[in-house]
Amino acid sequence: MIDRRFPRVPVKVPMFITVGGGRLYEKAVEIECRDISGGGLSFETLREIPLDAKSKIVMGRLGNLPPSAIIEGRVVYRHKQDGADLFTVGVEFLDFVNTSREELLERIQSWQDDAATLR
């Protein structure tokens, strides 16, 4: 089991990611993250993205965060899903360029509060 500093929340956000410092891999479509936290996120892809690759993540429409929140990170895990041609990829956030971890954590808490209200 992975020891996490921040709780993970399933959320669907538009995301663009460049991995490997170039155009090794780009995804510019709306993708459903498996989860997001103040420390990172995970998503599914058909591509086998290299471990430890540096990444730049641009996420849009994250509540009241800047229109395109830019976060630099690195790929910390990649698992091939059983019986599918999909990989689950985990990215650790390293540097918040035009937003902050605190702003992201506030938004995540808001999502959790909204979900609890709907139950």
- Is the pLDDT confidence value at 18 over 90? no
Write the pLDDT tens digit of every residue in 29-74: 455 678 889 999 988 888 888 888 888 777 665 555 556 778 899 9
Segments of the chain assigned E as strands = 9-19, 25-27, 30-36, 40-45, 54-60, 68-80, 87-96
d(CA 58, CA 33): 13
3 inside domain = no
Question: What is the chain's length?
Answer: 119
Residues facing residue 43 across a β-bridge: 89
Predicted TM-score (pTM) of the model is 0.78
**Residue 29 within any structural domain of the chain:** yes
Q: Residue 2 falls within a domain, yes or no?
A: no
> Has residue 88 been placed in a domain?
yes
**CATH number of the domain where residue 106 is located:** 2.40.10.220
In a domain, 41, yes or no: yes
| pLDDT of 94 above 70 | yes
pLDDT at 3: 59
Range of the domain at 110: 9-118
Q: What's the structural domain count of the chain?
A: 1
